[in-house]
Amino acid sequence: MNSDKTYDIFLSYPHADKVEVAKICKALRAKGLNVWIDQSDIQDYASITRSIIEGVAHSKVLVAYNSLNYAHSRACQWELTAAFLAAQREGDPQKRVLIINPEENAEHIHPVELRDELFQKAPADPQAIDSLVSSVATHVSTIEGTIGEIRGLIQPRWFGKKGTGSNRFVGRLPDMWDIHSSLHSAEVPIITGATSTTVQIHGMGGLGKSLLVEEYALRYAAAFPGGVFWLRAFGNDDVKTAMGPDEREAERIRQFRDIAEAYGIPVKDRSPEEIEAHLARELGNNGPFLWVVDDIPSGMDVESLGRWLAPHPLGKTLITTRTREYNSLGHLIPLDVLTSDEAWELLTSWRKPAGEEEEDAARQLIEDLGRHALALDVTGAALHASEGLQSFAKFRKELANPTHDELELAAELKGVLPNGHEKSIASTLIRSIERLDPEGWDFLRLASVLAVAPIPASLISSVFSEVDGLDGGEGRRRALLGLDQTENLSLAERVEDEPGARSVHTLISRTVRFRDHELERSGKLEDTAVRALTDECLKANDPITYHKLEMIVPHARKLMSGSDNLQRAELMGCIAIYDYHRGARKSAENFWRREWEIRDHIRGGEDPDTLAAMNNLALALKAQSDFVEARKLEERVIGIRRRILGDEHHSTLKTMCNLAKTLSYQDDLDGARRIQEEVLEIRRRTLGDEHIDTRTSMYCLASTLKAQGDLVGARKLEERT
């Protein structure tokens, strides 16, 4: 349709009601009204967005045929939400949104504001249709301008994870409107330094908290012209594999920096504090924005948690978490299991029950699984895979007889899953995983040792090739088989904004770690992943190319918790360098310290790589003003290098220069000067006055002389450089 054309009416309806709606549409057009109506059953993000931009935005009013089916149509809900938000800004939503209700009551209609003054009941005969059409025509004649002229309906920019939603998202309408009302309930004139609105979505694993927030951000994005910002906090209900506080802070710094860079803010050679202050100022210039922090872990102190929240009062912070530790922060929305109707919609989206007996079995199966979203999705995929071989009733019967392993897993997940339904859900997860071929098992084994974050296809392919010594083509073939198997069984999800990447839910990974009896194979995959990640880090060894590492750094951090060996030590060194250049100095210190300890234990204190790790650790300590420990380390390195390499070796001289700088920071200018004079004398004698290292030594010594007030001596050196 011509996007420049305007319409009197955008007719929003579920495809299941097309026969009834067609009669109304025909009568509206016969009355001379210009009607926008989509005949296709659109559900994907791109098509829905197009209908809103081309249709809703160019129409005076939206008329919604709000049957029970309407609540189950993703497209309808997006259309209604877009029109409602725009009309709300104008002051009276009922002016632009007209509801036709064919049901006996109005409990299914959201938001609740639209229940109060329903425009019309659904017409039951031609006379009623004529009456409805006349009422609509009269109402439209009083309206000026289009919905899009009130508020632009083009989606704002996304920063961080890009939301695309899921065609299998069901229900949750009251929750989404609760989120929206809560985020905007505290709107007052902005005062500099005021606390930004915060809403928490709390619930157990696998309920769909992240998907709910993503769907909210997509549907309600028009309310946030300043943009949508998505950060991952990498919380995990498996304490044994959780990130440490310094590693998580390094991840926060990285994500803030990446957002700032995408926002057009210069980040080179700037501290995290400078970058975040600049970002906050810029965010204050572009209107309200949504700030999502996904998967906040337990155990964070108030100060650490506060650094994750929106950096400007115009931001509305929406967080997801499994813990109730932060109940005093903002408004808490507990997320429960799906309703019976929502659970039915999700399960049967994979496969429709055939006949009344199968429908009864499907409804009983839904209750067996406690209406748990992840369990239902995995079950639906399993039923789809076994169509023609296994009925709903047979699937349910087998689920009622859990194996010893399934009972043990249920006990381990107690408190993580709906009470009383642990056995059925544990059985569902294990049995779906056991359907996999070796390629699918290997992918889930790999995912279970990595972070709960998108896994790039290149990493998966590299690991599959190297672990069995395959060529690149065969490794890619096995990787694709594994990805296809797990995706078909809903054990992995495609990450739409990262081509080829997949994500695996933490409950799936926990089940794999519990059920996997081939621990040697898992260990080989983990060791191979360490080598592959190290290779990727070494390829991008320049801060200019660090953006290439964004997807793999969380996985590298996760693998640091494994057994200590030289391969892990090398990866630690790589991530320490990355963190150091990104301003996460404490995390860099921790990794370099661990690298030093591992190398010292395995190779000894005089190994060149051990000494390099010590030198790097001193660098991180100096960046945090811990000059005392940095000096001790550098003096120790110099002593060893002098004894093994000699006084004139370039590594010895380089460490001496580092020590001189440390002494300067401690205001020991005499000590710094003595070392710099010694280094300069050696470099002049061995390299000559024209060498770049000699000139650098002259410059450093000149700086020290100036600090001591010896301007004549400093000038002489500067003239020679």
Task: State the average pLDDT for the chain.
Answer: 89
Tell me the pLDDT band of 1, cut-offs 50, 70 and 90: very low
pLDDT digits (tens, 9 = 90+) for 557-583: 999 887 889 999 999 999 999 999 999
**Domain shared by 180 and 125, yes or no:** no
**Domain shared by 141 and 232, yes or no:** no
pLDDT digits (tens, 9 = 90+) for 93-146: 888 999 999 998 888 888 877 876 556 777 888 888 999 999 999 999 999 999
Q: 539 in a domain, yes or no? A: no
> Which pLDDT value is given to residue 406?
77
Reply yes or no on whether the pLDDT at 195 is more than 50. no
The residues near 594 (Cβ < 8 Å, ≥ 6 apart) are 560, 564, 569, 572
Q: 601 in a domain, yes or no? A: no
Q: 683 in a domain, yes or no? A: yes
Report the range of poorest mean pLDDT among 173-177, 478-482, 682-686.
Answer: 173-177
3-state secondary structure of 87: helix
pTM: 0.81
Report the share of the chain in percent with pLDDT over 70: 94
- Nearest alpha-carbon partner for 621 in 577, 664, 586: 586
The residues near 712 (Cβ < 8 Å, ≥ 6 apart) are none
**Domain shared by 315 and 457, yes or no:** no
What is the average per-residue pLDDT within 621-640?
96
3-state secondary structure of 205: coil
> Which pLDDT value is given to residue 166?
78
pLDDT digits (tens, 9 = 90+) for 590-617: 999 999 999 999 999 999 999 999 999 9
State the CATH number of the domain containing residue 40. 3.40.50.10140
> Which pLDDT value is given to residue 438?
95
pLDDT digits (tens, 9 = 90+) for 474-513: 999 999 999 999 999 999 998 877 788 999 998 899 899 9
Tell me the pLDDT band of 639, cut-offs 50, 70 and 90: very high
Reply yes or no on whether the pLDDT at 207 is more than 70. yes
**Domain shared by 300 and 444, yes or no:** no
**Helix or strand run (H / E) with residue 315:** strand 315-321
Tell me the pLDDT band of 169, cut-offs 50, 70 and 90: confident
**Domain shared by 297 and 193, yes or no:** yes
**Domain shared by 201 and 287, yes or no:** yes
State which of 377, 405, 434 marks the end of a domain.
Answer: 434
State which of 434, 450, 469 marks the end of a domain.
Answer: 434
Unique residue bearing structure tokens 């990640």? 533
Strand order in the sheet with 289-296: 158-160, 228-232, 289-296, 315-321, 198-202, 331-334
Question: Beta strand 35-36 with 289-296: parallel, antiparallel or unpaired?
Answer: unpaired
**Domain shared by 145 and 219, yes or no:** no
Q: 183 in a domain, yes or no? A: yes
> Which pLDDT value is given to residue 192?
29
Reply yes or no on whether the pLDDT at 45 is more than 80. no
Residue 123 is part of which domain span? 7-150
Q: 571 in a domain, yes or no? A: no
> Which pLDDT value is given to residue 223?
86
**Domain shared by 172 and 117, yes or no:** no
> Which pLDDT value is given to residue 698?
93
Q: What is the dihedral of CA 398, 404, 408, 409, to 10 degrees?
A: -40
**Domain shared by 345 and 468, yes or no:** no
State which of 464, 499, 526 marks the end of a domain.
Answer: 526
350 DSSP assignment? T
- Nearest alpha-carbon partner for 293 in 200, 162, 374: 200
**Domain shared by 409 and 455, yes or no:** no
Tell me the pLDDT band of 163, cut-offs 50, 70 and 90: confident
Q: 676 in a domain, yes or no? A: yes
State the CATH number of the domain containing residue 242. 3.40.50.300
Unique residue bearing structure tokens 């191979």? 528
Check if the beta carbon of residue 423 is closer than 8 Å to that of residue 435. no
CB neighbours (10 Å) of residue 191? 8
228-258 burial, b at 16+ Cβ within 10 Å, e below that, comes to bbbbbbbbbbeeebbbeebbbbbbbbbbbbb
What is the average per-residue pLDDT within 522-540?
94
Reply yes or no on whether the pLDDT at 193 is more than 50. no
What is the average per-residue pLDDT within 403-414?
79
Tell me the pLDDT band of 157, cut-offs 50, 70 and 90: confident
Give the number of domains in the chain. 5
> Which pLDDT value is given to residue 236?
66
**Domain shared by 76 and 88, yes or no:** yes
CA–CA gap between residue 283 and residue 313 (Å, rounded): 9
**Domain shared by 289 and 233, yes or no:** yes
Q: 559 in a domain, yes or no? A: no
Reply yes or no on whether the pLDDT at 191 is more than 90. no
